[in-house]
Structure formats: structure tokens, C-alpha cells
Amino acid sequence: MPAPYDFHIHTTYLKCANETMTVPALVERCESLGLEAIAITDHLNAPEFLPQHALIKQDLAAIHSDMRIYFGAEVNVIDKDTGAVSIDEAQLAEGGFELVIGGPHTSYFSEPDKPAIIDLQHKLMLAVIANPLVDVLVHPWWFGAGEFKPGGPMEWLTDMEQIPDWHAKEIADAALAHGCAVEANHSAFFTENQYGPAFRETYPHYLASFAQRGVPISISTDAHDINRLNGIHEMMDILERVGVTREQLWTPEMRKPR
């Protein structure tokens, strides 16, 4: 079945996505992919980026679409000791964001201390889930390609068997308690070279374990280039192969009351 949604999309305004990702162009592409609802969630790593987000909002106001289009932001962990993220209530209100997605974006380690890396990453994910402003935990266990270079600190993350199941259970319990969804992110895991076949084989089962525990799955491409938006249907195929159904997908209507 084709994917109905894509709730993690970047734009050219924040300079992380390329020039193909203008708001009108990405909306048009999502319409042609047959999506019912999307969210634009560009990076808000610090409050000085709020004016660029206002430009996205302005573009959206001028667009008429039959899709439901949500205006959101992706935030980062800014304090590895507390798990605090790069948005507060005032910035949420100032930006007018309808949803917030977020998670850690680095291991915070320069040495390959596997147990310590797993332990910290797990704690940071729990802190993000417990944050009342965050609706979706993004790309759990994604690390930048630089952390996976041969001999690099993340070389051990060859498959999800490295992460004990009790971690997934704790994440699921926290997600259910705090009304947070867990993301199935196509670009982060299924297009970049840092993840090999064993990882790509085991990761969908990790995602399915959340759905089985009742945690809604937020399906996304995390596209930074317009041609990456097409990956949303492959993401749905991957989820369906491990038994995740459309009914188990998250939508922003389910987000926590603020």
C-alpha cells in the first residue's frame, strides 16, 4: 500500500536541504505522490533561526492544497547531561509551530566506548520523549556518517542486535506514558551508506516492536532533496513487511495537548 503521510520534510530556507526544496515544489511533489498529509519540519537548532521558519509559514499561507499540511520544527538535543532540546515554550509560541519532532544528532563520544555510547543515547532519547513539547522522537539510533568511518567510533553499530530489547521496551513505555510517537525515517537509515545490509535488515523489526507495544509510528522521508520525497512509499513497504499497518501510523491529530 502507498504511504499516506510524510511528517518530516526540510526546506531550502534553513540551508540544510538543497535548492530543490522550495515550499511550493515540495508540496506539489507530495501531492503527486498521493499523500494525504505532510509536515514541514525544518531545523530549529537555535532561536535565531525563527525568521527563516516564518518564511516557510508565509509560503504555506499562500498555498492551497487538498493535503493536510502541518507546520512544524525539528529540534536537537543541546545538553547531553539533561537531554534538553533546542526549543522552549516561548519559541514554540513565537514560531507558531503545530508540532515538534526531535532527538539527539550525535553520539557525543570520540572514543568507541560502545556500552557508554548506548547508555547515553538511550538516556537522551528518554529525555526527549518525556519533554512535553516534543511530539515525535526522530530517527532513533541514527548517527552522522562521520561517526561511521572505518575505524571510527560507531563502527560497531552494524545491526540492531547490538541494542538490547529492554531498551526498546523502556522507550516504548516512556512513549506511551508521554504521548510521543517514534519515527520511521527513510533517508536516515535506508539511503545513506553508513548503514549496511545487516542493519537495514534488523532495524524494521526494531520499529515494529514499538508498533506491537502500541506506540504510534510517524512515517517520514526526512527529505533534504526533492527526489528523496519518493522514498516515502518504500518506507511504507518496509514497515508493511514487518507487519506495521496504516492504522499504527501516527498523525498530528494525535499530538499531545499543550
Give the residues lining the site for Zn ion (CB under 5 A): 74, 222
Task: Residue 41: name the closest of 90, 103, 108, 123 by CA.
Answer: 103
**CB 118 to Zn ion: min, Å:** 19
- With cell 508493511, the residue in question is 240
**CB 114 to Zn ion: min, Å:** 22
Which one, 6 or 222, has the nearer CB to Zn ion? 222
Which one, 135 or 222, has the nearer CB to Zn ion? 222
Which one, 92 or 188, has the nearer CB to Zn ion? 188
Within the chain, where are the H helices? 23-32, 50-61, 89-95, 114-130, 165-178, 186-190, 197-212, 231-241
Task: Residue 251: name the closest of 54, 26, 29, 69 by CA.
Answer: 69
Classify residue 12 by its DSSP letter.
Answer: G
> Residue 100: beta bridge partners?
73
**CB 16 to Zn ion: min, Å:** 7
**CB 135 to Zn ion: min, Å:** 14
Which one, 16 or 55, has the nearer CB to Zn ion? 16
Query: What residue type is 147 in one-letter code?
Result: E
Query: What residue type is 227 in one-letter code?
Result: N
Name the residue number minimizing CB distance to Zn ion: 222
Which one, 78 or 113, has the nearer CB to Zn ion? 78
**CB 10 to Zn ion: min, Å:** 6
* Helix and strand numbers, DSSP H then E, in the chain: 8, 7
Backbone angles phi, psi at 225, to 5 degrees: -140, 145
**CB 101 to Zn ion: min, Å:** 8
Which one, 17 or 249, has the nearer CB to Zn ion? 17
**CB 26 to Zn ion: min, Å:** 13
Which one, 146 or 164, has the nearer CB to Zn ion? 146
Backbone angles phi, psi at 82, to 5 degrees: -110, -20
Residue 76, all three cell numbers = 536537537
Query: What residue type is 73 in one-letter code?
Result: A
